[in-house]
Chains A and B, each alone.
Chain A
Amino acid sequence: MMGVIYLTKLIGAILVVLATTNVGFIYAKNITERYKELWGIKKEISILKSQIEYAYTPLKDIFLQIRISAIKGHESFWQRVSREIQKNEAKKIKNIWEESIELELKKGYLSAEDLEEFRGVGEILAMVDRKQQVGMIEMYLSRLERNISELEKVKNSCEKTARTLGVLAGVFVTIILW
């Protein structure tokens, strides 16, 4: 009888440690993936900026170009925006942009604040003046740069800690409950 109780406790303890470890790893992964996605957006928007600034390329073609060098998970976003603006169905570019974010980017690791800032790019695209557009994109890129460097600090300090804390929290809970 004692053996069965002991075995149950042991299985429970292992499950607790596994669960908390998993939470720690998920937290760390969220930070890493968000960091990767922000870097991806930085690269993608930089292409957008240079194509508007120097090549005078129409948006549908820029989006298709970006899709080719976009990070995994973002291709469908650029593909969708390019497809939608060619439909000519009385939609504003801003709305097409926002809809595409809702459908394609929300499933990623970007935070609500990241997505909110990214939504602003849709408004920039609706502007007529090229210089103003480029200026606004530069502002967005510098904000993005700041967010990335802040996240990098968090990533460096918290990533390992989160994983370790996950394991330790599991062990701690197990000792208390034992």
Chain B
Amino acid sequence: MDLKNIIPVELRADFVRIVSSSIGLEEIRLRVGQVTRIIVNNEEFILNKSIIITRSHIQECLDYISGYSLFAYENELSQGYITVEGGHRVGVAGKVVCEKKGVKTLKYIHSINIRVAHQLIGCANDCIEYIRKQKGIYNTLIISPPRCGKTTLLRDIIRQLSKGNNHYKGMNVGVVDERSEIAACFEGIPQNDLGPRVDILDGVSKAQGILMLLRAMSPQIIAIDELGGEKDVESLEYCITSGCGVLATVHGKTYEEILRNKYLGELIKSKRFKRYIILSNHNVTGQVQNVLDENGKTILI
């Protein structure tokens, strides 16, 4: 999708002038009562200083984003974002409407943040050989603080495993994409390249999705992003014991920190994971700091 087509018509000429292509474009932010700001190559620009964003601009933008069908994105909206064609994520903020089960929807939306999707093809080249074995993979946990590229790395690992190469056959990978971040599905079609042997369950909870994939798609590997609660860990354990390979990510800084995790700790102590990839954000997003084995010993060469 051309991002120009989802911003208000009034702003398009300026947008085209500043952003000649989507390369380098990172964010577009619209807020009621403010000018429109865009981030290109880490630098902030203002789109047409004379245009102050109003509620009708926001509504116009939401109409384009949802194809005049906000009702169809009720679930996504209750989580605060909508994924559009191209895998770009549109975050929204406004008045939160709650009900017993949690957030129902958002109304009086006054801020929109369009985050441009990026893929780093090949960013898993350094660590893929630590994950693969002759038949299948080592169950792997990627440990990383937020914004260090764990999802980007996971995406590339999935792509490489699914695709295969001259030495290894491609494998069937099931992806549970609870927040549409890995595959960035738009209307059921993945917008990111995850290779040819991938089955994606989009928008389902991790615990449910793992069981659904195991029963329905008989995957060789299951990939999930941001492990969290007790149920996620329970389903993951079931997945491992049923002989399916696991690729997962978790927020954290070190192996020791995750070992102390209330739910995940037990899984680590029982050596369910055979590889731990620790990421750092010192130089490049997605840079591998260390690779550990099941005992927490460094094996990175």
The chain A residues found within 8 Å of chain B, CB to CB, are: 52, 56-61, 85-86, 88-90, 92-93, 125-126, 128-130, 133
Contacts and interface: CB of A to CB of B under 8 A. Distances in A.
A58 B5 contact: no
A59 B60 contact: no
A59 B67 contact: yes
B72 A57 contact: yes
14 contacts: A52-B71, A56-B73, A56-B74, A56-B75, A57-B69, A58-B187, A59-B69, A60-B68, A60-B69, A61-B187, A86-B67, A88-B6, A90-B60, A130-B71
A90 B61 CA distance: 9
Contact of A88 (B5, B71, B72, B187): B5
B8 A90 contact: yes
Contacts of B281: none
Contacts of B5: 88
Contacts of B70: 128
Nearest to B67: A58
B17 to A, nearest CB: 19
B9 A90 contact: yes
Given A88-B5, A88-B6, A128-B107, A58 B63 contact: no
Contacts of A85: 67-68
Q: Ordered nearest first, which 6 A-B pairs have the shortest CB separation?
A: A130-B71, A58-B69, A90-B9, A88-B64, A58-B67, A93-B68
Contacts of B63: 88, 92-93
Contacts of B6: 88
Chain B contact residues: helix, strand, loop or mixed: helix
B33 to A, nearest CB: 20
A171 B67 CA distance: 59
Interface string B64-89: 10111111111100000000000000
A133 B71 contact: yes
A157 B75 CA distance: 51
A89 B67 contact: no
Contacts, number: 46
A57 B64 CA distance: 15
A125 B70 CA distance: 10
Contacts of B187: 58, 61
B71 A128 contact: yes
B71 A60 contact: no
Given A59-B67, A88-B5, 8 more contacts: A57-B69, A58-B67, A59-B68, A60-B68, A88-B9, A89-B9, A125-B68, A128-B107
Contacts of A125: 68
B67 A60 contact: yes
A58 B72 contact: yes
Nearest to A93: B68
Contacts of B73: 56
Contacts of B60: 90
Contact of A130 (B8, B9, B74, B107): B74
Given A89-B9, A90-B8, A90-B60, A129 B68 contact: no
B162 to A, nearest CB: 28
A56 B64 CA distance: 17
Most B C-beta atoms less than 10 A away, residue of A57, A58, A89, A126: A58
Contact of A58 (B9, B66, B107): B66
A52 to B, nearest CB: 6
A88 B67 CA distance: 8
Contact of A129 (B66, B71, B72): B71
Nearest to A94: B68
A26 to B, nearest CB: 39
Interface in B107-126: 107
Contacts of B67: 58-60, 85-86
Contacts of A93: 63, 68
A92 B69 CA distance: 12
Contacts of A56: 71-75
B63 to A, nearest CB: 7
Nearest to B69: A58
Nearest to B10: A90
A59 B63 CA distance: 11
B1 to A, nearest CB: 10
Contacts of A58: 66-67, 69, 72, 187
A89 B68 CA distance: 12
